[in-house]
Amino acid sequence: MHRELVEKLETLRRRRRAVILAHNYQPPEVQDIADFVGDSLELARKAMETDADVIVLAGVRFMAETAKLLNPDRIVLHPVPDAGCPLADFLTVNAIREARREHPGAPVVLYINSHLDAKAEADYIVTSSSAVKLVSMLEDDTVLFGPDRNLADYVAENLPGKRIVPVPLHGHCPVHQYLITARHVEEARRRYPGARVLIHPEAPREARRLADYVGSTSQMVRYIGETGAQGTYLLGTEEGLAYRARKLYPTADVKPLNPKAICRNMKKITLRSIVEALERLAPRVELDPVQAKKAREAMERSLEMFK
């Protein structure tokens, strides 16, 4: 059955001139058939570079929306539209406008894990791998940052001269907030003495402080390669990243820090849902054109800063 589905997918991929972009947390069956697997920044860059007629985004909603806003004239398919990101749900347009009133002149820097209407209000858009660097390049002392309070805190920790105001106060990713904690790090270190611990910046400060390395999903994978890919590496993030890392570095003993850290939304995408989407050329991502234009400007302004 699996083989039949893969064969069907190959035919459709060719016929539709499609590219399949998958996030590092996707299930193995999806990572295995993707044209590219990466973190949020890499997915955005790939979406920008592609000349395919159709982009299939295997990830959560904001990733598919990002691909579409960078490719207004291409067909972008998100195979399961209700695969959302609960972190994005924390931020409303009203909260951003209120924060701007309270801090006139301060730029709004939004994590890419946000909805399109919020992005349309942003000056800059960052990912976990670009947040510290981009904010460090801004001249402003005060920066409004949302919706992840842990990433905001991570930026503040790295840039002590800046005042980072979290918008809203308590935005978080439930997977990282509750399943990648200091207690999980301590337990894992007891169980695997000598292991290197890598933590995503969406995890709480107490967990990050106990890490050997903090970075985005793809930065964590690169760290394994840069440190020789020998011995045990515990990945303090969603469990799907371990599959990706093991595939790239088979000599390393890679384990999720907490195998129960599962993003249910990421796992809604299946091989079958991708085949069906390519067959029907649906569900397509359609965006409000005014919001998309504003969000694209913020996104392009941010990507330009790294050129």
Residues that bind ligand 13P (CB under 6 A): 24, 39-40, 113, 127-128, 173, 202, 216-217, 238
Tokens coding 164: 């980072």
What does R_g of the chain's alpha carbons equal in angstroms? 19
Backbone dihedral angles phi then psi of residue 38, each to the nearest 5 degrees? -170, -170
190 conformational bin, left if phi > 0, alpha if psi -120 to 50, beta if neither: alpha
Which one, 216 or 273, has the nearer CB to ligand 13P?
Answer: 216
Report in angstroms how near the CB of residue 10 gets to ligand 13P at its nearest. Answer: 27
Which amino acid is located at 161 in the chain?
A: G
Site for ligand SF4 in 232-261 (CB under 6 A): 238
Q: How far apart are the first and last CA of the chain?
A: 45
Judged by beta carbon distances under 5 to 8 A according to partner kind, the member of ligand SF4, ligand 13P, none in contact with residue 150 is none
According to the binding rule CB under 6 A, does residue 265 interact with ligand SF4?
yes
Closest alpha carbon to 25 in 37, 36, 33, 9: 37
Stretch that binds ligand SF4, among 82-90, 135-143, 225-233, 239-247 (CB under 6 A): 82-90
According to the binding rule CB under 6 A, does residue 65 interact with ligand SF4?
no
Which one, 114 or 128, has the nearer CB to ligand 13P?
Answer: 128
Stretch that binds ligand SF4, among 64-72, 83-91, 133-141, 190-198 (CB under 6 A): 83-91
Judged by beta carbon distances under 5 to 8 A according to partner kind, the member of ligand 13P, ligand SF4, none in contact with residue 31 is none
Which one, 86 or 107, has the nearer CB to ligand 13P?
Answer: 86
Residues in contact with ligand SF4, counted by CB under 6 A, come to a total of 12
Closest alpha carbon to 155 in 177, 172, 132: 132
State whether residue 165 is helix, strand or coil. strand
Q: Return d(Cα 305, Cα 195) in angstroms, integer.
A: 36
Judged by beta carbon distances under 5 to 8 A according to partner kind, the member of ligand 13P, ligand SF4, none in contact with residue 86 is ligand SF4
According to the binding rule CB under 6 A, does residue 263 interact with ligand SF4?
yes
Per 3-state DSSP, the chain is made up of helix, strand and coil in percentages (nearest 5) of 45, 15, 40
Closest alpha carbon to 152 in 190, 195, 187, 201: 201
Which one, 135 or 203, has the nearer CB to ligand SF4?
Answer: 203
According to the binding rule CB under 6 A, does residue 110 interact with ligand SF4?
no
Closest alpha carbon to 258 in 242, 272, 273: 242
Q: Which residue from 69, 85, 108, 275 is in contact with ligand SF4, where contact means CB under 6 A? A: 85
Which DSSP category does 88 fall into? G
Which one, 265 or 273, has the nearer CB to ligand SF4?
Answer: 265
E strand segments, 15-174: 18-23, 36-38, 54-58, 75-77, 108-111, 124-126, 142-146, 163-166
According to the binding rule CB under 6 A, does residue 44 interact with ligand SF4?
no
Tokens coding 29: 């069956």
Which one, 238 or 276, has the nearer CB to ligand 13P?
Answer: 238
Which one, 85 or 195, has the nearer CB to ligand 13P?
Answer: 85
Q: Which residues make up the interface to ligand SF4 (CB under 6 A)?
A: 60, 85-87, 113, 173, 175, 202, 238, 263, 265-266
